[in-house]
Structure 1
Amino acid sequence: MATGSTTPGAPPPPAGAPTQKVSDVISAFRPSRRFKTPNPNTSITSLDFDDTGELAIVARDDDTLQIYNCKEGKHAKELKSGKYGVHLARFSHHAQSIIYASTKVDDTIRFLSTHDNSYIRYFKGHTDTVTSIALCPSSDQFMSCSKDNTVRLWNLQSNNYFGLLNLHAPYLAVYDPSATVIAIASPPTHSVVLYDVRNFDKPPFANFDILEFEQRFLPQGGDWTKMEFTNDGKSLVISTNGSGHFVLDAFEGTITHFCYRKSGHSGRLAPGATAPSHNTNAPNGITPALGQGDTCVTPDGQYLIGGSSEDGLLVWDISKPAAPNNYLEPMESIPGHGKAAIMGYNPRTNLLASADKDFLLWQPDPDLMM
């Protein structure tokens, strides 16, 4: 079981206070609650909030799911998936049920009731590792990507997928906030394609070629780790494990910002990457853990928050006008306790969550907002 502790000098755990403007508090975030993982060799691999913002769920590579009450700043429940493993855990729109990808036995997506730890449904079809799961913002539909070169569209009420796209290496997919567009990224082909949700069986209406941006901004290389629309739908963020992240115009596919980080990435495998059997470059020869990207966009769409190879968080103001060279340096480097290899911003309150080995909740420190 995870244990929680208040960070010395930090404000008390969240209590559901009214949300202030993100711009008023962004520089004041500090860790307020830390939940330690019992085994130092265990890593958290995914993070998600429920629709109310009251609950957070993380998947760990010890085959467990941990649920936290963000309102009370407490660990709420542990669920075990020892036989199948667990990754990419996502709340449905019903807080007491989740879907997640398997890491062992098969590539089935499992629909679980967290109330009594019983399976509601199995989504079978993928024949290789699931690399991405995205819930539709406005319905019980979701989509999944896999190394089997397919994207499948599902409904939580049915075991069978209702849509299938055959694409080369479609490792990331996401709905836009209006749930009318899906973006699918193929890192090996350096492209993002956009489909009309209602006409997903028709050719994509847009195709963004990212190769030129990668050659310009990532000469040392970098795999794509996450893709996310801003809440206004105007920008599309592609995070990487290289020296920074791309912010694209979601309509034109042009670059507005390259969010540069000097210190490098937080060390997780990218979706679609194959873990080496022995990694001599990793600390102590330990293979990097899975991840879901080390960035998140704030709900107002103004800031990108991310991790690096160092402790703490980096903040970029992506609402700024684009610079002539498109480079954007961090506006803040926020101190923390440990690396932020997984990131999430609560959809309802000014509460941040980060994870690597341990799980941290962050909130604005009132003393820093004076």
Structure 2
Amino acid sequence: MATGSATPGAPPPPAGPPQHKVRVSDVIASFRPSRRFKPPSPNTSVTSLDFDDTGELAIVARDDDTLQIYNCKEGKHAKELKSQKYGVHLARFSHHAQSIIYASTKVDDTIRFLSTHDNSYIRYFRGHTDTVTSISLCPSSDTFMSCSKDNTVKLWNLGSQSYYGMLNLHGATLGAYDPSATVIAIASPATQNVLLYDVRNYDKSPFACFDLLELEQRFLGPQKGQWTKIEFTNDGKSLVVATDGIGHFVLDAFSGDIQHFCYRKAGSSGRLLPGASTSNHGAGTANGTTPANGQGDVCVTSDGQYLIGGSAEDGLLVWNISQAPTPNNVLEPTEKLPAQTKGAIVGYNPRTNLLASGDKDLTLWQPDVDLM
């Protein structure tokens, strides 16, 4: 039985844009690792990462069936939560920092709503019949969207255990809300399509459909690449389609036209797709032979101007996606941020200039004042 009380209604989003002391463009080249948190076992990997609305907390899921919460303000580990029976992946803060939702990786395909205050379950969201591959929280309310390998997309309210909406879409494994919370994007890698729906009329046909087959053939070649994540920029004008190939697509969110192909010479950081099967839960890379799950190895900065991502090499790459497209639309990295580990999972703090990346370890990055 789930315990705990239902969460109150979502608070309004923080007023105004993120209150950075300096612009992202002023510090982007100076990010360096400032804290590094190692797991107890070298076989353990970080599989997902998220920040709360205030930017003060970060949560990571690991494939040792634990959730780790970090205080970004103090640069310290804050709490460990265990889910040994059900596993953990795609952990997301609700609009209240003391509650999270996450996907199960064992036993069943239930999404679990957990109070981090006392480690008790508030609610279970049952309905998917195969692995959950994407969880996206609505920016302005206590609703969220989940995608699954069962070929359904489900819409939920945190206050109810039953989904209130469902779409049957072949291969629809990735989803995202736009910043205004009026549009949802759903990606079907199997059909090379991205579908855009009006949130208020999700049960109607999509108002836009972007076919990326030609772009895949043009930029990724015969080997192509699987899609790992979709994300809107903060102004809602661009949509990132991340891949595990040699680059990522940045599309015009209104027309679907290509703006940039963010090229990475070394290729992917090597993670499995969200929801992919691993040979043994909780053992990370299975003695170094089986990659861990991921959620995409790239993110958009909070100002929407840059894409930051990992590759097969240590460190992080930075692409300036605010610049005008090149004639062939290929965008080379403008910066390479050095580190001693790969960036298999990457996230940018929504409120402060802090960056987080994960592979085996979790690394927090801050601008180095000596490099500014």
TM-score (norm: length of structure 2): 0.92
Q: What is the aligned partner in structure 2 of residue 157 from structure 1?
A: 159
Query: Following TM superposition, by how much is the alpha carbon of 1:138 offset from its aligned partner in structure 2, in angstroms?
Result: 0.1
- Which amino acid in 2 is paired with 1:23? S
- Match status 1:243 vs 2:246: yes
Secondary structure of 1:188's partner? coil
Which amino acid in 1 is paired with 2:322?
S
Aligned to 1:214: 216
Looking at structure 2, the residues matched to 73 and 226 of structure 1 have their Cα atoms a distance apart, in angstroms, of: 27
Aligned with residue 167 of structure 1, among 159, 166, 169 = 169
Q: Aligned equivalents of 1:158 and 1:275: distance in 2?
A: 31
Residue matched to 2:128? 126
Q: Counterpart in 2 of 1:290?
A: 293
2:3 corresponding residue in structure 1: none
**Contact 2:266–2:312 (CA under 8 A) maintained in structure 1:** yes
Partner of 2:102: 100
Instruction: Report how many aligned residue pairs link the two structures.
Output: 350
CA distance in 2, matches of 1:276, 1:69: 32
Shift of 1:284: 5.8
Following the alignment from structure 1 to structure 2, what is the Cα–Cα distance between the partners of residues 37 and 310?
Answer: 21
Alpha-carbon distance between aligned partners in 1 of 2:131 and 2:36, rounded to the nearest angstrom = 31
Which amino acid is 1:167 matched to? L
Question: Any unmatched runs of 5+ in structure 1?
Answer: 1-16
Contact 1:226–1:239 under 8 Å retained in 2: yes
2:190 is paired with a residue whose SS is: helix
Deviation at 1:63, TM superposition (A): 0.2
- SS where residue 218 of structure 2 aligns? helix
Consecutive aligned runs of 4 or more in structure 1 exceeding 6 Å deviation: none
Is 1:307 equivalent to 2:310 in the alignment? yes
**TM-score normalised to the size of structure 1?**
0.93
Partner Cα separation in structure 2 for residue 39 and residue 337 of structure 1: 18
Match of 1:347 among 345, 350, 354: 350
Structure 1 position 275, deviation (Å): 4.2
Contact kept in structure 1, 2:275 and 2:293, CA below 8 Å: no
Q: CA deviation at 1:18?
A: 5.2
1:70 aligns with 2:56: no
Amino acid at match of 2:251: L
**Which of 255, 259, 271 lines up with 1:256 in the alignment?**
259
- Name the counterpart of 2:50: 48
Matched residue type, 2:200: R
- Cα distance in 2 for partners of 1:138, 1:352 equals 23
Question: Alignment partner of 2:217: what SS?
Answer: helix
Q: Which amino acid aligns with 1:346?
A: N
Question: Measured at CA, do residues 215 and 273 of structure 1 come closer, stay the same or move farther in structure 2, by a change above 3 Å?
Answer: farther
Aligned residues of 2:318 and 2:333 also touching (Cα < 8 A): yes
Out of 173, 182, 186, the position equivalent to 1:180 is 182
Q: Which moved more, 1:17-26 or 1:255-264?
A: 17-26
RMSD between aligned residues: 1.5
2:192 equivalent among 185, 190, 193: 190
8 A Cα contact 1:140 1:155, kept in partner: yes
Question: In the alignment, what sits opposite 2:206?
Answer: 204
Name the amino acid aligned to 2:312. S
Counterpart of 1:8 in structure 2 is none
- Provide, for residues 168-202 of structure 1, a one-character-per-residue CA deviation record: whole Å limited to 9, x for no partner: 01100000000000000000100000000000000
Letter in 1 for 2:131: T
C-alpha distance after superposition, 1:279-313 (max 9, x if no partner)? xxx99662111000000101111100000011101
Distance 1:358 1:252, change over 3 A: same
Contact 1:55–1:70 (Cα < 8 Å) also in 2: yes
Q: Provide the secondary structure at the position in 1 that maps to 2:47.
A: strand
Cα distance in 1 between the residues matched to 2:224 and 2:318: 22
Aligned partner (choices 83, 86, 94) of residue 84 of structure 1: 86
1:337-365 per-position Cα deviation (integer Å, ceiling 9, x unaligned): 20000000000000000000000000000
Deviation at 1:51, TM superposition (A): 0.1
**Distance in 2 between residues matched to 1:131 and 1:116, nearest whole Å:** 27
What is the rounded CA distance, in whole Å, between the counterparts of 2:91 and 2:278 in structure 1? 20
The answer to whether the Cα contact below 8 Å between 2:307 and 2:319 also exists between their aligned partners in 1 is yes
Whole-Å separation in 2 of the counterparts to 1:59 and 1:110: 13
Question: What is the rounded CA distance, in whole Å, between the counterparts of 2:256 and 2:20 in structure 1?
Answer: 36
On the 8 A contact 2:43/2:288 being kept in 1, the answer is no
The residue aligned with 1:317 is: 320
